[in-house]
């Protein structure tokens, strides 16, 4: 996943590192705050005797020039502390030092279909993390940049939603409504989620709420039969709200944990179709609405998700075809843009090709082994 973005970010991280190293070489280092040295606490390195010019008073009992045989080497000398003061120096990066790599990072993100607001947030975080802060000279520049980029990505990705934990904490049946645009893999995604929940120990029933598209009921029926999951459906052209109402009644009667409701794919700019979806939402009363779109749609997926969230509402997002996405823009942007968590990522064609989203998953994919 995200091969193109991964390579570009590797290059720009090198640019950041080179800029930091150049700054260290050309700028005077800023000394760290001096350690406190209290009178009487200065001592001498292990293995050294006290210099002659300090051999006075109580240290010598037998006369000038006569050493005390009981004198012992003392650790942690004053000179060692001075040496530490000299070596523990710092540097401070300025906006000028990082202007070029920051601009390059901004262009990379925009070219990778990262939404403008998300790009701005990442750049702002990088700037605040790197500019004006004291850094130890011994710190590895690449580690400094990687840590800042990881934190910036974590900020925009969010924490996700632990769906199994959500289900366990709510009254049963938990009702999940799936919405999205035609052709993005919504019906197959429902089957993947059903398979995932079964492995987590939950019982599941599916409601065939896509009653208008030719072959839609047959498609979801095939998935349900393969998985051994009960499907509730009416004839083609039936009221989808009635189908989903019956699905909930079945779940209650049979103590089923989760209801997964399919709906017809629709475009966010078709008012009549969106109003039908609003009716379904009122009658079905979902505990969660998951918006499904494909990662390869890039910024279009982000725009559509925002419109669905505004019109119908969305509690989370599932992205399909993530394994085919070289840019990563929608995966990085969508949660931050609509203020709702990513929940699942579809990463293949099989039922088991689904992963519960965590920010570390995306960060590792984008930054590689360094993450």
pLDDT tens, residue by residue, 57-88: 443 344 444 445 455 454 454 444 434 444 45
Percent of the chain at pLDDT > 70 equals 77
Q: Are 280 and 178 in contact, with CB atoms under 8 Å apart? A: no
Of the listed ranges 8-22, 195-209, 321-335, the least confidently predicted one is 8-22
pLDDT, mean of residues 35-47: 47
Task: Please report the pLDDT score of residue 163 as a whole number.
Answer: 96
Q: Which CATH superfamily is domain 163-370 in?
A: P-loop containing nucleotide triphosphate hydrolases (3.40.50.300)
- HSE-CB for 321 with a 13 A CA cutoff: 18
pLDDT, mean of residues 150-163: 95
- Per DSSP, the three-state class of 193 is helix
Domain range 3-32+88-157, its CATH number among 1.20.120.140, 2.60.120.200, 3.30.930.10, 1.10.287.110: 1.20.120.140
Q: What are the residues facing 258 on neighbouring strands?
A: 174, 204
Q: Are 286 and 245 in contact, with CB atoms under 8 Å apart? A: no
Where, residue-wise, is CATH 3.40.50.300 in the chain?
163-370
E strand intervals along the chain: 30-31, 89-92, 134-136, 174-180, 204-207, 230-232, 258-261, 288-294, 316-320, 342-346, 354-356
d(CA 317, CA 335): 8
Instruction: Look at residue 47 and tell me whether its pLDDT is greater than 50.
Output: no
Where, residue-wise, is CATH 1.20.120.140 in the chain?
3-32+88-157
Q: Confidence class of residue 356 from pLDDT cuts 50, 70 and 90?
A: very high
pLDDT, mean of residues 102-118: 94
More confident residue, 247 or 143: 247
Neighbours of 68 (CB within 10 A): 13
- Helix ranges (DSSP H) in 131-183: 141-157, 163-168
Q: Which of 343, 319, 341 is nearest to 331 (CA)?
A: 319
- For the stretch 281-313, pLDDT in tens is 999 999 999 999 999 998 899 998 998 888 888
The set of long-range contacts for 97-100, using a CB threshold of 8 Å and a minimum separation of 24, is: 97/19, 97/20, 97/22, 97/23, 97/131, 98/16, 98/19, 98/127, 98/130, 98/131, 100/15, 100/19
Task: Please report the pLDDT score of residue 204 as a whole number.
Answer: 98
Q: Confidence class of residue 94 from pLDDT cuts 50, 70 and 90?
A: confident
């Amino acid at each position: 996943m995200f091969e193109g973005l991964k390579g570009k970010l590797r290059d720009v991280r090198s640019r950041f590192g080179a800029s930091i190293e150049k700054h260290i070489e050309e700028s005077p280092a800023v000394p760290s705050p001096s350690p406190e040295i209290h009178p009487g606490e200065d001592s001498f390195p292990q293995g050294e005797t006290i210099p002659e010019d300090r051999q006075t008073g109580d240290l010598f009992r037998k006369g000038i020039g006569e050493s005390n045989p009981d004198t012992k080497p003392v650790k942690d000398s004053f000179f060692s502390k001075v040496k530490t003061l000299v070596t523990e120096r710092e540097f401070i990066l300025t906006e000028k030092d990082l202007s070029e790599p920051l601009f390059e990072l901004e262009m990379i993100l925009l070219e990778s279909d990262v939404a403008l607001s998300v790009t701005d947030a990442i750049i702002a975080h990088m700037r605040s993390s790197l500019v004006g802060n004291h850094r130890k000279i011994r710190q590895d520049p690449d580690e400094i940049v990687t840590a800042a980029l990881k934190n910036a990505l974590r900020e925009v990705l969010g924490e996700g939603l632990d769906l199994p934990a959500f289900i366990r904490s709510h009254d049963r049946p938990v009702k999940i409504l799936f919405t999205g645009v035609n052709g993005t893999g919504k019906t197959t995604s429902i089957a993947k989620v059903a398979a995932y929940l079964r492995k987590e120990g939950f019982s599941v029933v599916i409601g065939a709420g896509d009653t208008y598209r030719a072959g839609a009921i047959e498609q979801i029926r095939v998935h349900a039969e393969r998985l051994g999951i009960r499907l509730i459906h009416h004839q083609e052209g039936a009221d989808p709200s009635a189908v989903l109402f019956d699905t909930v009644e079945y779940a209650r009667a049979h103590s089923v944990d989760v209801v997964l409701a399919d709906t017809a794919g629709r475009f966010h700019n078709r008012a009549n179709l969106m109003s039908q979806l609003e009716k379904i939402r009122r009658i079905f009363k979902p505990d969660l609405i998951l918006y499904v779109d494909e990662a390869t749609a890039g910024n279009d997926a982000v725009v559509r998700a925002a419109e669905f969230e505004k019109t119908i509402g969305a509690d989370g997002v599932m992205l399909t075809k993530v394994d085919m996405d070289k840019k990563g823009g929608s995966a990085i942007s969508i949660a931050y843009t609509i203020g709702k968590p990513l929940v699942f990522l579809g990463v293949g064609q099989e039922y088991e090709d689904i992963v519960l989203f965590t920010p570390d998953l995306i960060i590792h994919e984008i930054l590689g082994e360094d993450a």
